[in-house]
Amino acid sequence: MNKSDNASDISTFINEYQTEILGDWLQNLKEQSTRIDAFSDEQLHKQCAMFLKSLASATVNNQTADIDGRAWDEVRSLLTEISQARAKQGYTPSETALFIFSLKQSLFSKLRTHFAQGPALLAANIWTLSTLLDKLGLFTIEVFQKSRDQIIMRQQQELLELSTPVVKLWKNILALPLIGTLDSERTQIVMESLLQKIVDTGAAIAIIDITGVPTVDTLVAQHLLKTIAAARLMGADCIISGIRPQIAQTIVHLGVNLEDVITKATLADAFVIALERTGSSITSQQQD
Amino acid sequence: MADLLFGSSFSSSGLCGMNSASAHSGSSDFMTLPLQTDEHVVALRKLVREQSITIKLTLVDQTKFVTAASELARNTLKYGGGGNVSFSLLSNGERQGLCLVFEDKGPGIVDIAQALTDGFTSGTGLGLGLGGAKRLVDEFAIESEPGRGTVVKIVKWKK
Amino acid sequence: MDRIPILRMGKLLLVTIQVDMHDQLAMTLQDDLTERIVKEQAKGVLIDISALDVVDSFIGRMINNTAAMARVLDASTVIVGMQPAVAITLVELGLTLTGVKTALNVEKGIALLGKRLL
């Protein structure tokens, strides 16, 4: 089959001209890349040499059609490393893919001289190599994307943790001012941290203030209710404050049952109630 | 997901996606334990807790899964006349999960839908707790035939 | 461990559950508590579950039954130290503790029982 002939040709070809291809490739990379200090010459040389070697051994098995197969494991893992390293350095996806595409140039120019006598063979080899390198180039972009996605997820997690503060208002009284839209996941995390804080501080009452929450859906309302039930099981109680008119409407509309729960319009009102229930009160001093 | 049909055989080997290559990769990934005594139930709770920690479930998810396992183990023991539970570690490429399959050759459940909707009462009633256990896990499947036995499968994934 | 120890402090019975109980152990505890309430004429029972990381429906029912029996014998029951993960799971399970007061720790639990213990 043509493909397998090509592939083993490619393998022998790469091995034969390895040093020249390597030199040429490195030269191209340096010329095209604007980031000269990201990787030292030595590192780059190492990356390219290793890649060429694994490319040669992968093609020796006559396999260029499917780069997801076992034969290409080493190549893929090398590319993954290289791609992730570049992602961390702040390379753009194109710059990262450049690693592969600059190899094309060096390979093709060598191919031309090697197969000067047989234009048909030359054409076939160029085609096979080209498709192969395209796939590998796309692969590096995919890996790049994935590592960026992971960074974004990690940042989202950190944001989540930063935006869910539990405040100790007074002895035995905690406040949880929620701000922004609540999605199911965030609500769950917030609620779990509230319950933990209750244990940590030994608070008897937790005021959940939702003044800063524009909308509440059934799922979120259910999470709120479950949290209150859980707090009660643990021996603490909750007050919900800051329910805006729209939210009040939504709650009634959704048929959420708040009969068991103390609700107050403002955090201040809730605080007064909480104080009373924990045996304290606020008095104003005489003003002259 | 309440009423998955596993085919007429009650063997548990086909129930946890055992066809995938990952299933037989190591002895700690799959095991079958008897559920014939109280101590077996305690041992299962311990195992499930350890495995939940291994795949790094959150504390709440761990607790939910261990509790669900405890409920079902007790059902197997008390209502199923004893049986066994198969445990396996799952992997679907991106995430890991735990799978438990409870089997008994007991009297079976006549009305599964009813059993699933029965909530708990605070002390009386059979309280099979199936509905509750279902809420604690990500995947839940049950097959039961009066006179032949019951099989319940639960799965929890690491998010 | 074949029995969970029950401590007496005046009119208060204090139980600290620190092991994952198998069903028989839980039943034995229920029986022992009921017996001791009568024997010591206790007015309060405090069950510390801060070391329990799982409470399933069986234990839940045991707690409810114990509290119900205690009430019949004129004693109040308080459960203290429930872990957040356990509380969340119980809510999801749909189990309610009836006739049982709850408190965050032993100190608050005793305060809750208050004058009954004098």
Give tens-digit pLDDT for B56-104.
Answer: 999 999 999 999 999 999 999 988 899 999 999 998 878 899 999 999 9
**Does C82 contact A at CB distance below 8 Å?**
yes
The Cα of C58 is separated from the nearest Cα of chain B by a number of Å equal to 8
Domain count, chain A: 2
Backbone torsions φ then ψ of A262, nearest 5 degrees: -80, 130
**CB proximity list for C32: less than 8 A, separation 6 or greater:** C3, C4, C6
Backbone torsions φ then ψ of A207, nearest 5 degrees: -100, 120
Residues of A in contact with C102 (CB under 8 A): 232-235
Structure tokens at A13: 């070809």
Q: For residues A79 and A201, state if they share a domain.
A: no
Instruction: Note whether C22 contacts B42, CB cutoff 8 Å.
Output: yes
Chain B residue with CA closest to C26: the answer is B38
- Residue C47: which domain range? 6-113
| Predicted TM-score of the model (pTM) | 0.70
C102 within a domain of the structure (yes/no)? yes
Residues of C in contact with A231 (CB under 8 A): 87
The Cα of C19 is separated from the nearest Cα of chain B by a number of Å equal to 10
A126 within a domain of the structure (yes/no)? yes
According to DSSP, residue A253 is labeled H
CA–CA separation, C12 and C6 (whole Å): 10
CA–CA separation, A210 and A247 (whole Å): 9
Task: Give percent of chain A with pLDDT exceeding 90.
Answer: 18
In tens, the pLDDT along A70-101 reads 778 888 888 888 888 887 777 888 888 888 88
The count of CB pairs under 8 A between chains A and C is 50
Tell me if residue A166 falls in helix, strand or coil. Answer: coil
- Residue A19: which domain range? 2-158
Q: For residues A139 and A175, state if they share a domain.
A: no
Backbone torsions φ then ψ of B116, nearest 5 degrees: -75, -25
Cα Rg of chain B (Å, integer): 15
Pick the last residue of a domain from A134, A158, A182.
A158
Stretch 29-88 of chain C: residues touching chain B, C-beta under 8 Å: 53-58, 60-61, 64-65, 68, 83-86, 88
The band of B23, judged by pLDDT with boundaries at 50, 70 and 90, is very low
CA–CA separation, C76 and B143 (whole Å): 43
The Cα of A196 is separated from the nearest Cα of chain C by a number of Å equal to 6
Chain C residue with CA closest to B66: the answer is C54
The Cα of C106 is separated from the nearest Cα of chain A by a number of Å equal to 11
Question: What is the mean predicted confidence (pLDDT) over B21-26?
Answer: 39
ipTM, two decimals: 0.91
Instruction: Note whether B122 contacts C97, CB cutoff 8 Å.
Output: yes
B3-7 long-range Cβ contacts below 8 angstroms, 24+ apart: B3/B112, B3/B141, B3/B142, B3/B143, B4/B141, B4/B142, B4/B143, B4/B153, B5/B143, B6/B141, B6/B143, B6/B151
Cα angle: A243, vertex A245, A251; to 5 degrees: 70
The count of CB pairs under 8 A between chains B and C is 83
Domain count, chain C: 1
Instruction: Note whether C104 contacts A236, CB cutoff 8 Å.
Output: yes
The Cα of C31 is separated from the nearest Cα of chain A by a number of Å equal to 24
Q: Provide the CATH number for the domain around residue A36.
A: 1.10.490.130
What pairs with residue B142 in β-bridges?
B152
Residues of A in contact with C88 (CB under 8 A): 192, 195, 226-227, 230
Name the one residue in this structure whose structure tokens are 């080899």. Answer: A125
**CB proximity list for A169: less than 8 A, separation 6 or greater:** A175, A207, A271, A274
The band of A3, judged by pLDDT with boundaries at 50, 70 and 90, is very low
Per-residue pLDDT of chain C (118 residues; tens, 9 = 90+): 678 999 999 999 999 999 999 889 999 999 999 999 999 999 999 999 999 999 998 999 999 999 999 999 999 999 999 999 999 999 998 888 888 999 999 999 999 998 777 6
Name the one residue in this structure whose structure tokens are 């032949």. Answer: B148
Q: Which of C91, C103, C104 sits opposite A230 (nearest CB)?
A: C91
- With contact defined as 3+ CB pairs under 8 Å, the chains touching A are C
Chain C residue with CA closest to A193: the answer is C84
Instruction: Note whether C105 contacts A195, CB cutoff 8 Å.
Output: no
Q: For residues A150 and A182, state if they share a domain.
A: no
Q: For residues A88 and A190, state if they share a domain.
A: no
Q: Which of C87, C101, C104 sits opposite A230 (nearest CB)?
A: C87
At residue B6, does pLDDT exceed 50? no
Tell me if residue A61 falls in helix, strand or coil. Answer: coil
Q: Provide the CATH number for the domain around residue C58.
A: 3.30.750.24
The Cα of B19 is separated from the nearest Cα of chain C by a number of Å equal to 32
Secondary structure of C31-88 in HEC code, one letter for each residue = HHHHHHHHHHCCCEEEEECCCCCCCCHHHHHHHHHHHHHHHHCCCEEEEECCCHHHHH
| Chain A interface mutation, best of C55, C91, C93, C112, highest count of A Cβ atoms under 10 Å | C91
Instruction: Note whether B136 contacts C56, CB cutoff 8 Å.
Output: no
Q: For residues A107 and A175, state if they share a domain.
A: no
Q: Determine which helix (DSSP H) or strand (DSSP E) holds A212, and give its type and residue range.
A: strand A205-212
Instruction: Note whether A230 contacts C84, CB cutoff 8 Å.
Output: yes
Q: Which of C58, C64, C85 sits opposite B63 (nearest CB)?
A: C85
Query: Domain locations in chain B?
Result: 30-157
A286 within a domain of the structure (yes/no)? no
A204 within a domain of the structure (yes/no)? yes
Residues of C in contact with A236 (CB under 8 A): 104
The Cα of C93 is separated from the nearest Cα of chain B by a number of Å equal to 4
Instruction: Note whether B136 contacts C55, CB cutoff 8 Å.
Output: no
Residues of A in contact with C82 (CB under 8 A): 233-235
Q: Are C80 and C47 in contact (CB under 8 A)?
A: yes
Question: What is the mean predicted confidence (pLDDT) over A22-38?
Answer: 74
Q: For residues A145 and A70, state if they share a domain.
A: yes
Fold for B30-157, please state it: Heat Shock Protein 90 (3.30.565)
Q: For residues A110 and A31, state if they share a domain.
A: yes
Q: For residues A136 and A182, state if they share a domain.
A: no
Structure tokens at B123: 């002390």
A287 within a domain of the structure (yes/no)? no
What is the Cβ-side half-sphere exposure of residue A18, based on CA atoms within 13 angstroms? Answer: 15
The Cα of A203 is separated from the nearest Cα of chain C by a number of Å equal to 8
In tens, the pLDDT along B101-159 reads 999 999 988 888 877 876 544 333 445 678 889 999 999 999 999 999 999 999 999 97
Q: Provide the CATH number for the domain around residue A227.
A: 3.30.750.24
Structure tokens at B84: 């066994």
CA–CA separation, B158 and B147 (whole Å): 36
C100 within a domain of the structure (yes/no)? yes
The band of A21, judged by pLDDT with boundaries at 50, 70 and 90, is confident
Cα angle: A18, vertex A21, A25; to 5 degrees: 135
Chain C residue with CA closest to B42: the answer is C22
Classify residue B65 as exposed, middle or buried by CB count within 10 Å of its CB (0-12, 13-18, 19+).
Answer: buried
* Identity at A34, one-letter amino acid code: T
CA–CA separation, A244 and A211 (whole Å): 7
Chain B residue with CA closest to C69: the answer is B123
Q: For residues A209 and A262, state if they share a domain.
A: yes
